[in-house]
Structure 1
Amino acid sequence: VETLESRNLKATFAVNGSVCELYPDACEAARDAGWDFMGHGFVQRPMHRVDDQKAAIAQTIEAISRFTGKPPRGWESPGLTETDETLDLLAEAGIEYVADWVLDEQPVTLKTRAGDIVSVPYTVEINDVVISA
């Protein structure tokens, strides 16, 4: 937080919804620094292993909204994982962008049954999944 603040930079905080309650000090520091909170699942579990994705997405959005006072605009699935339905469920829940698709250096519009969602540029080289996989 201090390093970014010293450079007048804001971060996007990919956070599991459960973290807002389990680690409030870390989340308060991010919120107070003006960081954007991005949904990262409710718990750290690949989306294809979540029994009810719709409920987990809603639970994550609710936890972040309750903690920050506003819903997250973006989403990065744990392990960058999705199912065929994940994007549709995210768009239906009001998520505007995702960071799961490592496919281009420019934003790309993806079609869902609820309208468009944007894939933001993201490289797997800066993701912890490379270290832990």
Structure 2
Amino acid sequence: MKADPNLYDYWPYANRPKITWPGGKKLAFWIAPNIEFYEFMPPGNPQRSPWPNAVPNVQQYSQRDFGNRVGHLRLMELLDRHKLRGSVSLNVALCDHHPEIVEDCARRDWEFFSHGIYNTRYSYGLSPDQEQAVLDDSIRSVEAATGQRIRGYLAPALTHTEATLDLIAENDFWYSCDLFQDDQPQPLKTKTGKLVSMPYSLEVNDVITYSVMGMDPDRYADILKRHFDQLLLEGERSGTVMCIPLHAYLVSQPNRIKMFEQALAHITAHRDDVWFATGREIAKHFIDNYWDSSLDDIKARGVATGGTGFSHG
């Protein structure tokens, strides 16, 4: 049994090479609406049930459907008011099921990255060829619907195989959202390509705060402000990243949306210090400007672990 998956090196936070975001900004902020499709009667997977209760689950299916019918429009209008673009974590089956939502996002110049085909179809048990087929479908479907070549990946329901990161790197993806080890981008250890671990926080993900921890909207808004304030403070030394992952069936409920807007107003009041970007833009800036110096620093500290090592592209 492996004690360490060897996906990235141990890299202490203090005294890393300084990151400066475009315009001298201290913090790169991105917002990731998960636009998902949950099948009513999904195929089974021996390692994980697609619904927490019996299948079919009418109640949970319809709760998630609220996002695609009501919540996303409400969230889009809120982000418009604050001049923010989303980076869409997309179940690419949405291109077929609800093309109007994809069109609304594309019209706003939002980014799209892959969140698998359905959120009820897991990566567990897939062969490399099957997983490659999922990536091929994701690339083709999003490009046909939007003209964008996707560069980011969040595995469906955060389910991986041992081949996932190598495969997305081979397919010229620039970043993965599936690892939660840091508040700055970090090079991942893949056989080819340059793949960045992008900060995508579970701590401020509304699925965790609302569905798991049962927070009320005031508490969630307070946590977002505190999270932002700390990262902005640390960003004075070296640029940090804050991501808010969202699900419109949760954050866009009528009793929650106003408190979330208060948190966004707090964040967007700091435009002099914050780069409001997309995941793709953050990853490209890091790869273009800090990839090599990050690897050099890891090696100089003597903290690099064994295994496949990094590719330099």
When normalised by structure 1's length, the TM-score is: 0.91
Q: 1:4 aligns with which of 62, 71, 79?
A: 79
Deviates most, 39-48 or 96-105: 39-48
- Counterpart AA for 2:122: P
Greater Rg by CA: 2
Q: Is this contact kept in 1: 2:114–2:154, CA < 8 A?
A: yes
Q: 1:59 to 1:127 in 2, by over 3 A?
A: farther
Give the corresponding residue for 1:62: 140
C-alpha separation in 2, matches of 1:46 and 1:82? 8
C-alpha separation in 1, matches of 2:206 and 2:123? 17
Greater strand proportion = 1
C-alpha separation in 2, matches of 1:70 and 1:82? 24
Q: 1:25 aligns with which of 75, 100, 108?
A: 100
Q: Any runs of at least 4 consecutive aligned residues in structure 1 with deviations exceeding 2 A, and if so which?
A: 127-132
Identical pairs, percent: 32
Give the corresponding residue for 2:165: 87
C-alpha separation in 2, matches of 1:17 and 1:127? 21
Give the corresponding residue for 1:101: 179
C-alpha separation in 2, matches of 1:129 and 1:66? 33
- Counterpart AA for 1:71: R
Q: 1:37 to 1:121 in 2, by over 3 A?
A: same
C-alpha separation in 2, matches of 1:83 and 1:128? 23
Q: Is this contact kept in 1: 2:125–2:161, CA < 8 A?
A: no
User: What are structure 2's unaligned runs of at least 5 residues?
Assistant: 1-75, 213-313
CA RMSD of aligned residues (A): 1.7
Q: Is this contact kept in 1: 2:112–2:148, CA < 8 A?
A: no
User: What are structure 1's unaligned runs of at least 5 residues?
Assistant: none
Question: 1:94: how far off?
Answer: 1.3
- Counterpart AA for 1:128: V
Q: Is this contact kept in 2: 1:12–1:35, CA < 8 A?
A: yes
Question: 1:60: how far off?
Answer: 0.8
Give the corresponding residue for 1:123: 201
When normalised by structure 2's length, the TM-score is: 0.40
Q: 2:123 aligns with which of 32, 38, 47?
A: 47
SS at match of 2:188: strand
- Counterpart AA for 1:37: F
Highest RCO, 1 vs 2 (Cα 8 Å, sep ≥ 6): 2
SS at match of 1:14: strand
Q: 1:91 to 1:127 in 2, by over 3 A?
A: farther
